[in-house]
Amino acid sequence: MRTVATAGHVDHGKSSLVLALTGTDPDRFPEEKERGLTIDLGFAFTKLPSGEELGFVDVPGHVRFIKNMLAGVGAVDVVMLVVAANEGWMPQSEEHLRIIELLGVRDGLVCLTKADLVDDDTLELARLELDDHLARSALVDAPVVVCDAVSGRGLDDVRAGLDAVLAAARAPVDRGRPRLWVDRVFAAKGAGTVVTGTLTGGSLRVDDEVEVGPRARQARIRAIETAHHQLDVAEPGTRVALNLAGAEIERSAVRRGDGVVGAGQWQLTDVVDVGLAPLGEDAFRTRASLQCYAGSGEHQARLRVLDGDRRFGRIRLDEPLPLVPGDRLVLRDPGGRDTVGGAEVLDSAPSGRARDAAAVLALPLQRRLLAAHRWLAVDALGPRAGLGPAEAAALSEELVRSGAAVRVGRWLVEADTVAALRADAAERVRAHHDRAPLEPGVELATLASELPIDVERLRAAVEDSDDLVVERGYVRAAEHRSRVADSAEARALLDALDAAPFSPPEPASTGADPALVRSMVREHALVDLDGIVFTSDALDEARRRVRAALRDQGTVTVADVRDLLGSTRKYVLPILKQLDAEGVTRRRGDDRIPGPATLRDPG
Ligand SMILES: Nc1nc2c(ncn2[C@@H]2O[C@H](COP(=O)(O)OP(=O)(O)OP(=O)(O)O)[C@@H](O)[C@H]2O)c(=O)[nH]1
Ligand SMILES: [Mg+2]
């Protein structure tokens, strides 16, 4: 199914044409029928000669209801522009055409209707005038059909014309990232809430999880309907009604302008950097309050122009929306009198300073994403670029293959950025090795704060590098000895301590360098218990013997342990204090009983 929106000046015969083509009067409200004036959007369905199902979104022509018109055209990419032959081109013919262009619509059919009200000469004149207005517009190549809704003249040409235009128009894209801008909401008969809109970007099926509105409320699709029949799957381009189930949905009012998107696939944003498309000179002041139309919604927005040429701007919206690069916005002055221009979203999550943004925004999409974010999480690529999972994966690969980016952990980073980071890190680490050759390297967190960068990114960048190594929380040069404890000096010290493991000599008395001792403690080759340095092996052995004794006797005294280890109180007390701290033993009066760790695992 495809969806087409009407456009054109008030009273020019849009709704009458939709009625004549579909048999459904799109004017739903009694007030509309009475006054013969469309106020809000109307919907009707038909089947074209080709067999294609067609949904119409019929918009009001009166300038007072332009907000509703914008809600109707926000998600369609084919229009039917209607001009009455007896009145010719009028202000809303012009404004609607401009709006359509700002939204990026390139395909449409033009109906010169009410032909029954004019003679042939007037009709010919109207036709020439119309061609004038369409020249140099987005609809310059659109077929023009002469018709009227009273006698039915030309209606078959309209149907054939719609078929031809739809066949030639870009097919709705399926990126696997569905989004539906809600244009109508009502309570379902049984339960739940029904929202309608034109589905784009991907398909939705019954039972899919979706997120709704600025707070991304969770909902499940209970049923899908189009043109009065039920669907299991709705394809992009279809006008659908979704029956939504979910506690958060029942309680809250879903409104026109809310987005319904595939769960977990979209990021909501209330600030976007855009390319500006002004209508006329001086359309945008450097800072301005505007009405911004996005999808089916109207929003208050603040625009800040980012460059002297007024090509780029930063727009802050009154609430977060699911927007991606490529989305088109229409901007009107807050008095609501004029459409001043449009905007194309270029960056949906601008992070840099506004005054630096323009240079980045001028780049093509891929370079722009990398330049704007520097560290672009791979799983954010889809939402940031407006791409589906498959496209995002392909883009990621392409960026790496072309050398534009390097894959670092879960990020894509400009090659230069990573290279500079690694060089900086390596220089600092080497300088540290020179200053403190006995130390294992620089602590990862310390290095991160010096650079500065967060630890996770630094770790990823260093782990993939050839000349740096991360080990036990330290970054060292690849050629730096991995363990101080493997050195000859260290072996000599270990041998000296091992000679009397439970009453070891002071390291200084063996001639060991205090820096070496500190490094060995950090590497867990030695333990420092209240200033007495034991080998880790000695502590392990002491722990083993104490646990064995506890198993046999239930309790041990300091004197028991002293005998067990063949040592003296001076050494035994710090060892027992350590075992207490580990939960191996617990004090009870003068005795030690099994601690929580021993009770859990008696060994
Ligand atoms: N003679 C004649 N009258 C028409 C034709 N089409 C519409 N009309 C009349 O023109 C008036 C306006 O028609 P609508 O179809 O409501 O016009 P519209 O463009 O939908 O108007 P808005 O939605 O308010 O912008 C009605 O009185 C129609 O009966 C036509 O082809 N010939
Ligand atoms: Mg109408």
User: What pairs with residue 328 in β-bridges?
Assistant: 344
| CA pair distance 281, 603, nearest whole angstrom | 84
Residue 81 Cα to ligand 2 midpoint, Å, equals: 12
Distance (Å, whole) CA 261 – CA 60: 27
For residues 272 and 514, what is the distance between their CA atoms, to the nearest angstrom? 57
The answer to whether 593 and 580 have CB atoms below 8 angstroms apart is no
> 247-273: per-residue pLDDT in tens?
788 766 799 999 999 998 899 999 999
Lowest mean pLDDT among 168-172, 354-358, 575-579: 354-358
Ion ligand 2: protein residues whose beta carbon lies under 5 Å: 14-15, 38
* CB of 36 sitting under 6 A from ligand 1: yes
Gap from CA of 183 to ligand 2 centroid (Å)? 17
Contact between residue 507 and residue 532 where contact means Cβ atoms under 8 Å apart: no
- Looking at ligand 1, which residue's alpha carbon is closest to its atom 32? 114
- For 96: left if phi > 0, alpha if psi spans -120 to 50, otherwise beta; the answer is alpha
Question: Is the model more confident about 399 or about 481?
Answer: 399
Q: Cα(113) to centroid of ligand 1, in Å?
A: 9
Indicate the pLDDT class of residue 213, thresholds 50, 70 and 90. Answer: very high
DSSP string of 324-366, one letter each residue: -TT-EEEEE-TTSS-EEEEEEEEESS--S-HHHHHHHHTS-HH
Ligand 1 pocket test: pick from 9, 16, 19 the residue with the most ligand atoms within 8 Å of its Cβ.
Answer: 16
Q: How far apart are CA 189 and CA 161, in angstroms?
A: 38
Q: Which of 445, 78, 113 is nearest to 239 (CA)?
A: 78
Q: Count the helix, strand and coil residues of the chain and give each as a percent rounded to the nearest 5.
A: 35, 30, 35
For 230-250, what is each residue's pLDDT tens digit? Answer: 999 999 999 999 999 987 887
Q: Judge whether residue 102 has pLDDT over 90.
A: yes
Distant-in-sequence, close-in-space partners of 426: CB < 8 Å, separation ≥ 6: 465, 467, 468, 477
- Report the half-sphere exposure of 536 (CA within 13 A, side-chain side): 9
Residues 153, 160: Cα–Cα separation, whole Å: 13
Distance CA 325, CA 302 (A): 19
CA distance 578 to 536: 12
Whole-angstrom distance, CA of residue 64 vs CA of residue 66: 6
Residue 61 Cα: closest atom of ligand 1:
25
What integer best gives the mean pLDDT of the chain? 91
Burial class (CB in 10 A: 0-12, 13-18, 19+), 530: exposed
* Residue 116, ligand 1, Cβ within 6 A: yes
Give the atom of ligand 1 at the shortest distance from the alpha carbon of 117.
1
Ligand 1 pocket: which of 6, 9, 15, 43 to mutate (most atoms <8 Å of CB)? 15
Return left, alpha or beta for 227; rule: phi > 0 is left, psi -120 to 50 is alpha, else beta: left
Taking the CA atoms of 440, 445, 446 and 448 in sequence, report the sign of the dihedral they define: positive
Q: What is the DSSP letter of 90?
A: -
- Ranges of beta strands (E only) in 432-473 are 442-443, 468-471
67: DSSP letter: H
The response to whether residue 149 sits with its C-beta less than 6 Å from ligand 1 reads yes
Tokens of 574: 């710090």
pLDDT band at residue 120 under the 50/70/90 scheme: very high
- Return the SS3 of 126: helix
Stretch 410-431: mean pLDDT? 91
Token pair for 323: 């927007």
Q: What is the pLDDT of residues 331-358, one digit of tens each?
A: 998 876 789 999 999 999 887 788 888 8
